[in-house]
Structure 1
Amino acid sequence: MILGVLCLSLLVLVVDNTVLNVAIPTLVSDLHASSSDIQWIIDAYILVFAGLLLTAGSLSDRHGRRRGLIIGLIVFGGASLAASFAHSPGQLIATRALMGIGGAFLMPGTLSILTTVFDDKERKKAIAIWSSVLTLGAVGGPTLGGLLLAHFWWGSVFLLNVPIAALGIIAALAIIPESRGPAMRPDPVGALLSMVGMTSLVWGVINAGKYGMGSAQTLGGFGVAVVVLTLFALWERQSTHPMLPMALFSNRNFSGASLSIVLLSFAAGGVMLALTQYLQFVLGFTPLRAGFALAPLLAAAIVFNGIGVVVDKKFGVRAAAAIGLGLLAVGFGVLATISMADGYGKLVVALVIIGAGSGTAGPGLYGTLLGALPHDRAGVGSAVNDTVQQVGQALSVAILGSVLTAAFSAAMPDDVTGPARHSIGEALGVAAATGDAGLAHVAREAFVKAMSIASIAGLVGAVGAVVLAAAVLRPKPQPAAEPVPERQPEPDASPL
């Protein structure tokens, strides 16, 4: 029952993050949102969420993890209700920022409670289910969004969160026991430095995707992040009551799992970025059909989550991570070979392999990261897990998104200029407005070539992740051999 409540709370958060992408065209027409408004509707949530994660996790450790989860559900549900009835882009941006506050308490709350409630034997099985729900929300969100938008107004994608959040609050109060770490002095300096540093890092990543790695906005964000996060590490190292003990990173399994999760999230984010455009712009699928088309990835990930637990238990996290990340590399290799003539058939093969890789690697990595933490740090440790996932996904959008855009532009004929050269969406818009079927055809061909190049970049990253996992993560310890009892000499028989 407790795991069900935690998964329900997680699902409302993950679905909301993915369903918004489907609603963007409707927001443009109904709210008259500009491209800048749309970017801020997305970024307001990400910036607040990433900036507050570590602080929210630490506060939950100190004041109660169930309390933190319930606060997150209240804020997220209330902000979702306000977002569903927003009358302007500015109102929607403000409510999305509030949702980021709720999400920062909500997501690490689910994992920290899971860590403290389940023992070592059951924890990785529970994490496998948690990971499956994460995948279900990420892949199923666009499908659900398409269904809602086909029958209701755009606000329905936010209003959906309200009853789920309310149910989660009631269930948490009734079922989940309260847990907290030992009383500690607060660390306001560490909290402030972590918020500024993480917000600056994500800001730099976002701008890298929009303006390029060499832009002033990108370099400024990364520069502030490097300085402030360095100060954060130095402060936490000398503090007598650190929010995040730096000694954790000297644990090879903790640091290796953290880096591997960044790369796993990087690969998964890149897949979704390219495939949603391929399905809709190249194959001509509706948003609803595109969502259903990703079902093979979801099914494979859920099945292989269970297999990943078995591999981890029998051979260790290093083997599970290397096998899973290796499968991701193979999946990217299949994606790189897709041509215009292949349609959906070859894509299914790639989706199954990528889902299998993600499912095999995920449970062991999440469980290893959390298993390296003392229980009194479960909240902030879970926030570290969520933070590295967010950084990996943001880097994916920035780096693979930039590769995709640059490769598309390079693949377009020289005589195509202006907006049609920037993205396949703009090219198809120009083609529709001018009736130029030839432009639409070359744009689709250019995008398939660009997706191939981006997939090769993802393949290289996945191979690097395999090497990292094999080099850093510790192998499964071998059980000590039981000592063979010495044979006692038999006493000499006494003569009669």
Structure 2
Amino acid sequence: MTTSAPPLDRRVPEAVHRRRWAILGVLMLSLLIVVLDNSILNVAIKTISTPAPTGLGATQGELEWAINAYTLVFAGLLFTAGLLGDRLGRKKVLLAGLAVFGAGSALAAESGSPVQLIAFRALMGLGAAFVMPATLAVLMNVFERDEQPKAIGIWAGGVGLAIAIGPITGGVLLDHFWWGSVFLINVPIVVLAIGLMIWLVPDSRDPDPGRLDPVGVVLSVIGLVLLVYGIIKGGQLADFTDPQVLATIGAGVVVLVGFVLFEKRSDHPSIDVTYFQNKVFSAAISAIALVFFALMGVTFFSVFYTQSVRGYSPLQTGLLMLPLAVAQLIFAPRARLVVDRFGNRVTCTAGLVIIAAMLAAFATLEADTPIWLLEVIFFLMGTGMAHIMTPTSVVIMQALPREKAGSASALSNTFRQVGGALGIAVLGSVLSTAYRNGIEDKLALVPAPLRHTAGESIEATLGVAAKLGPQGKALVTPANDAFLHAMHVTALCGAGVAVIGAVIVALFLPGRPAAPQKGEDGAELVTAGLGQD
């Protein structure tokens, strides 16, 4: 008489296992607002740079800080937030983070100056830091290991959904309401997410949580802020040899080196540098950072291309960015199938090569280029991203034990945010420097006190031109030409960064997983695959 196979040994309680997909939906809603906020802001930056009462009259440097105040606080606190979630309970931390994020959004909507907007964006970053790592940590604790790649693929697809919804939602809001509505929209989503989370999501924590590292947190935030400030300042002055710029960048590097040395000697580091001894782990983290370095820089300048040079509205700009998100929605959940066939190395290298090629394609765009070409570029960029984010997320999350899920998530998102912040700072400064060099000799008509401001960005030039009346119309074409040249230079720099990423993953990510062996379970096969070269 034959007996049936024994049931699978589940580590997730049955009651939680049954509602795991509903829990994933709530987690994705929480993730949605964190990602939605930046993608909405992308289409609003031109409006915010417009003088009051339409906007706040923010300079390009202030716009970069409005984005980076969020990402730097986010990145600087992610690891501590992950540890607090491990210690206090991920659900509690998620709820607290959502509440702070909602409050920061409401305050940002009522900002009366660029400085206030930057401060309230930092508060939003504080809340978001406690949301992002907790969503992925909870996911890893409600799904069995064999379902984790699929769940992470859907989670990554949620990022694509937010990227799709954000620009379109922002465009609709800006067409009908004032600029602050792009932040106020977060508040009802926060309220809904909190209610569903209280009802559905179980709490979890690390039975052996790490100790907090306040010194490491302070060093990392100060170092990153100094580094980014110096880079942005160099772009504003179009002079990276300025003593103030060099001193600030140098101080940032020194503090960050001190941070690494402190973490190496600490018995409770924010970032356990021993993780990076694993070449696969380091390559996956680097790939994520470099992808977001290139992507955030591109989305920053592409908005000015579509709105300032091509004359599209915020809503039309949002719709133009839709192919980027659609490609991620299509391919992110399916990327694991490509990995199963070709391995992480081939999949991620191909993804980065596609991104590098599309960034280089931006260098061919002119004021009269058929707009469908931009749509193709965005779609292929989204395709490349989908085949990088999903496999690298799986590699990172499964490289550490389940109970360290918060730490793995925090590391992944820290490097994603740092990469994005540096991308905006570095590529934004390249854009600013190239633009000023291209427009400077065309500003003879501008009164001397306004020339420096007029040379900061295309919006600044067009704003000054509008004040000069008919005489200022002569500045419009030179401003467009200078911006296009600056965009081409910036896009090629981004392409170079993506090529570096492709080389790193080609050298260090694993190839195809080992063939399945009888008697081995899915978890062992995944682990074996991670070590396969």
- Is TM (by shorter chain) over 0.5? yes
Rg: which structure is higher? Answer: 1
TM-superposition CA deviations, 1:69-95 (whole Å, max 9, x none): 111011112332344445666655544
Q: Residue in 1 aligned with 2:356?
A: 329
Shift of 1:285: 0.4
Q: 1:303 aligns with which of 306, 327, 330?
A: 330
CA–CA separation in structure 2 for the residues paired with 1:270 and 1:327: 17
Higher mean displacement: 284-293 or 94-103: 94-103
Higher mean displacement: 91-100 or 64-73: 91-100
Is the Cα contact below 8 Å between 1:53 and 1:383 reproduced in 2? yes
Shift of 1:383: 1.3
TM-superposition CA deviations, 1:211-266 (whole Å, max 9, x none): 34445555455444444444444444444444433221111221111111111101
CA–CA separation in structure 1 for the residues paired with 2:119 and 2:500: 39
5 Å matches for 1:7-406? 7-21=28-42, 22=44, 24-25=48-49, 28-29=52-53, 35=59, 41-85=66-110, 92-184=117-209, 186-187=211-212, 190-212=213-235, 213-215=240-242, 218-406=245-433
Equivalent AA in structure 1 for residue 292 of structure 2: S
CA–CA separation in structure 1 for the residues paired with 2:65 and 2:150: 38
Shift of 1:284: 0.4
3-state SS, counterpart of residue 349 of structure 1: helix
TM-superposition CA deviations, 1:140-163 (whole Å, max 9, x none): 323322322332344432322222
Is the Cα contact below 8 Å between 1:197 and 1:226 reproduced in 2? no
**Cα gap change, 1:203 to 1:8, in 2 (>3 Å):** farther
Equivalent AA in structure 2 for residue 406 of structure 1: T
CA–CA separation in structure 2 for the residues paired with 1:226 and 1:377: 29
Shift of 1:205: 1.6
TM-superposition CA deviations, 1:107-165 (whole Å, max 9, x none): 11112212222233322222222222223333532332232233234443232222211
Q: 1:464 aligns with which of 485, 500, 512?
A: 500
Equivalent AA in structure 2 for residue 58 of structure 1: L
Unaligned runs of 5+ in 2: 1-21, 445-450, 520-533
What RMSD in Å do the two structures reach over aligned CA positions? 2.8
Q: Residue in 2 aligned with 1:473?
A: 509
Shift of 1:34: 5.9
Higher mean displacement: 146-155 or 335-344: 146-155
CA–CA separation in structure 1 for the residues paired with 2:423 and 2:246: 18
**Cα gap change, 1:312 to 1:382, in 2 (>3 Å):** same
Shift of 1:481: 7.2
**Cα gap change, 1:422 to 1:267, in 2 (>3 Å):** same
CA–CA separation in structure 2 for the residues paired with 1:92 and 1:400: 22
3-state SS, counterpart of residue 96 of structure 1: helix
**Cα gap change, 1:285 to 1:456, in 2 (>3 Å):** same
Q: 1:5 aligns with which of 15, 26, 39?
A: 26
**Cα gap change, 1:106 to 1:261, in 2 (>3 Å):** same
Is the Cα contact below 8 Å between 2:48 and 2:58 reproduced in 1? no
Q: Residue in 2 aligned with 1:494?
A: none
3-state SS, counterpart of residue 414 of structure 1: helix
Q: 2:461 aligns with which of 415, 423, 427?
A: 427
3-state SS, counterpart of residue 316 of structure 1: helix
CA–CA separation in structure 2 for the residues paired with 1:275 and 1:37: 18
Identity %: 40
**Cα gap change, 1:85 to 1:423, in 2 (>3 Å):** closer
Shift of 1:62: 1.4
Equivalent AA in structure 2 for residue 169 of structure 1: I
**Cα gap change, 1:30 to 1:420, in 2 (>3 Å):** closer
CA–CA separation in structure 2 for the residues paired with 1:37 and 1:130: 32
**Cα gap change, 1:369 to 1:150, in 2 (>3 Å):** same
Q: Residue in 2 aligned with 1:444?
A: 480
Shift of 1:477: 3.2
Shift of 1:103: 1.1
3-state SS, counterpart of residue 512 of structure 2: coil
Is the Cα contact below 8 Å between 2:48 and 2:55 reproduced in 1? no
3-state SS, counterpart of residue 441 of structure 2: coil
**Cα gap change, 1:218 to 1:407, in 2 (>3 Å):** closer
Q: Residue in 2 aligned with 1:488?
A: none
Which TM-score applies when normalising by structure 2? Answer: 0.82
TM-superposition CA deviations, 1:419-458 (whole Å, max 9, x none): 4443221222233333244421222122222222222222
